[in-house]
Amino acid sequence: MIRIDDLHKTYATPRGRFEALRGVSLHVAPGEVFGIIGPSGAGKSTLVQCINMLEQPDQGSIAIGGQALTGLDERSLRGQRRRIGMVFQGFNLLARRTVHGNVALPLEIAGVPARDIPARVDRLLELVGLAHLRDRYPSQISGGQKQRVGIARALANDPDVLLSDEATSALDPETTRNILALLREINRQTGITVVLITHQMEVVRQICDRVAVLDQGRVVEAGATVDVFASPRHAVTRAMVSAATASELSDETLAALRGRIADAAPARPGQAAQLWRMTLAGGDSGALLASLGREHAVALTLVQARVEAVQGVAVGTLFVLAEGAPEALAAARGAAHERHAVVEDVH
Amino acid sequence: MNAQMIDLLLASLLETLLMVGASGLAAVVFGVPLGVALVVSDRGAMLQNLPLNRVLGAVVNATRSVPFVILMVAIIPLTRLVAGTSIGTQAAIVPLSLAAIPFMARIAENAMREVDPGLITAARAMGATPAQIIRKVLLPEALPGLVAGATVTLVSLIGYSAMAGAIGGGGLGDLGIRYGYQRFLPEVMLVVVAVLIALVQCIQSLGDWLVRRTSHR
């Protein structure tokens, strides 16, 4: 549905050239919910503005549904933009139009006959559950309701693609979940392709089928959300995953464990102690630990564990104190890898 | 104060209202589009045109720099061309308009700059043309600011119109000078000032009420 090839964008700033995008390539399949995540300054906003050509890329191509957008003149672009709905972090609702009037705006712009507009707007407000607020002004409704208006407005011209630019970043966690659930529901009902730009891993975890991780203007990792969560390969991804799952050991716990490892070393010659961080997707983490302990001569002590549901699959991060002969520990690590658990040392 | 004075006062009030009303209308009709042109042609704006922006800005600044008394006499040939005469209430409307249009243009420009740029981005993302953005986003969202600006313009015009006596424009200010000052009739001056205060109050209150009505913040 969306094909982005080798996109480059450089801005001239007072302090020199800033390369916002340095060769981004992405492919978003029809009907999927695709997340683009990255820390601030990664180039996410530039990328989303390039997708509907609000920003002209310097190099590279963008095609939506087989139609190339790069190279089109402004007039043809305006027509293509109607196929792409956009939702904003700051809602961007007109203060002097009612809820109804705001949703009507894209229809007016597209030249829909005035007599057809009220019925279409009412249907859209029904879809986002705001029919009862149609005559309110934006200042009279909550943030979550404003974003529902934003979503209804983005869907007004029956677009093929819905772009969400940090749509939930200004909302509290519960409202965020509700808005995401609404987006997921609309995606299931209409088959619309959704591209979500976010810096919140929570957002990706809840609704994205696939995710691309953006860092310093490049895609550093992309794949199914479950895979990226279970075995993040890039440092930026790892940092974001652990921030989202809060699966870090506290400094006190870490200090205590280090003390314990140091104390144990002289007492048992030929034995080693290691602190592992194990990340696994699916399966039973308890059973895995038990069988590793049984099959290899190692003692595994669970220090801390957290298991999250990512797209319906249990993804866990375990901190395990592993003790045993160095060879046995290495063998146990190998066995864990075979069962799709990623083991890393915590130092 | 005799009946004759009251008639004179009413006639002067009518002249003031005519001068202020007509030039105020011209200020809105020509000043707002000029303000739009200033906003959309600026650097980074949707119809960036820096040469045009600079020229318009210079013309607006130049017109606003000329003291009104001088402007009035300096443009007499233009006044004669437009109004058919260079003397009288009708003639005074021409310089008053010429002074008010750039004044209103700057105020309109500022009001539109206050519109959240995110709204323009949103409209562009919907596939809006620049004309649609101006008509459906920029002007409607700036309306409370435009109304407040028109109020300020009208009040300023009442002040300017007092100088219209210099070209026989009449009005309350002229009455105050000729009768109150030159003929030593302080009570006429007092009444004129009282009427002017009441007039400004009415316009300001009406303007404030309209601003409240139109903004939904």
| Closest Cβ opposite residue A95 in set B125, B136, B141 | B141
Give the highest mean pLDDT range of A215-229, A322-336, B103-117: B103-117
Contacts of A160 (CB under 8 A, 6+ apart): A1, A64, A65, A83, A84, A192, A193
* B136 chain-A contacts, CB cut-off 8 A: 105, 108-109
Contact status of B52 with chain A (Cβ, < 8 Å): no
- pLDDT tops 90 at residue A102: yes
Q: List the single residue in A with minimal CA-CA distance to B127.
A: A78
**How many CB pairs below 8 Å do chains A and B form together?**
67
> Are A96 and B132 inside 8 Å of each other by CB?
no
Angle at B168 between CA B165 and CA B170, to 5 degrees: 60
At B66-105, the pLDDT tens digits run 999 899 989 999 999 998 888 889 999 999 999 999 999 9
CA distance B113 to B38: 10
CB B172 within 8 A of CB B13: yes
Band (A122; pLDDT cuts 50, 70, 90): very high
Compute the average pLDDT of residues B177-187.
87
| Closest Cβ opposite residue B119 in set A54, A77, A92 | A92
Question: Phi and psi of A317, rounded to 5°?
Answer: -120, 120
pLDDT at A201: 84
Q: Min CA distance, A144 vs chain B (Å)?
A: 18
At A164-209, the pLDDT tens digits run 999 998 889 899 999 999 999 999 999 999 999 998 888 888 899 9
What Cα–Cα distance (Å) separates residue B107 from each residue in B50, B57, B121? 20, 13, 23
* B118 chain-A contacts, CB cut-off 8 A: 88, 90, 92
What tokens does B215 get? 């903004």
Q: Which of A53, A74, A76, A96 to mutate to test the interface with B (most CBs of B within 10 A)?
A: A96
> Are B122 and A92 inside 8 Å of each other by CB?
yes
Contacts of B134 (CB under 8 A, 6+ apart): B36, B40
pLDDT at A307: 77
Contact status of B217 with chain A (Cβ, < 8 Å): yes
pLDDT at A220: 92
Band (B58; pLDDT cuts 50, 70, 90): very high
**Which strand (E) or helix (H) includes residue A304?**
strand A298-310
> Are B215 and A95 inside 8 Å of each other by CB?
yes
Beta pairing partners, A337: none
pLDDT at A279: 78
pLDDT at B1: 66
Question: Phi and psi of A129, rounded to 5°?
Answer: 75, 35
In order of start, what are the domains of chain A with their CATH numbers?
Answer: 2-230 (3.40.50.300), 251-345 (3.30.70.260)
Give me the interface pTM, i.e. the ipTM.
0.87
3-state secondary structure of B86: coil
Percentage of chain B lying above the pLDDT 90 cut: 73
> Are A86 and B143 inside 8 Å of each other by CB?
no
What tokens does A240 get? 């974001």
Q: Min CA distance, B6 vs chain A (Å)?
A: 45
What tokens does A136 get? 């309110």
- pLDDT tops 60 at residue A246: no
- pLDDT tops 80 at residue A280: no
User: In chain B, positions 82-121, which contact chain A (CB-CB < 8 Å)?
Assistant: 116, 118-119, 121
| Closest Cβ opposite residue B125 in set A54, A94, A95 | A54
Band (A245; pLDDT cuts 50, 70, 90): low
- pLDDT tops 60 at residue A278: yes
pLDDT at A244: 67
> Are B127 and A54 inside 8 Å of each other by CB?
no
Query: To 10 degrees, what angle do helices B186-214 and B3-40 make?
Result: 40
What b-and-e string marks burial along B153-164, b requiring 16 or more CB atoms within 10 Å of the CB?
A: bbbbbbebbbbb
Compute the average pLDDT of residues B207-217.
90
Of residues A339 and B77, the one with the higher pLDDT is B77
pLDDT at A333: 87
At A307-326, the pLDDT tens digits run 777 776 777 788 888 888 88
Sequential DSSP letters for A230-261: HS--SHHHHHHHHHHHT----HHHHHHHHHHH
Helices (H) and strands (E) in chain B, counts: 10, 0
Average pLDDT of the residues of chain A: 88
CB A343 within 8 A of CB A277: yes
pLDDT at A228: 84
* B139 chain-A contacts, CB cut-off 8 A: none
3-state secondary structure of A317: strand
Helices (H) and strands (E) in chain A, counts: 12, 14
Q: Min CA distance, A49 vs chain B (Å)?
A: 9
Give the highest mean pLDDT range of A334-343, B183-192, B200-209: B200-209
CA distance B216 to B162: 37
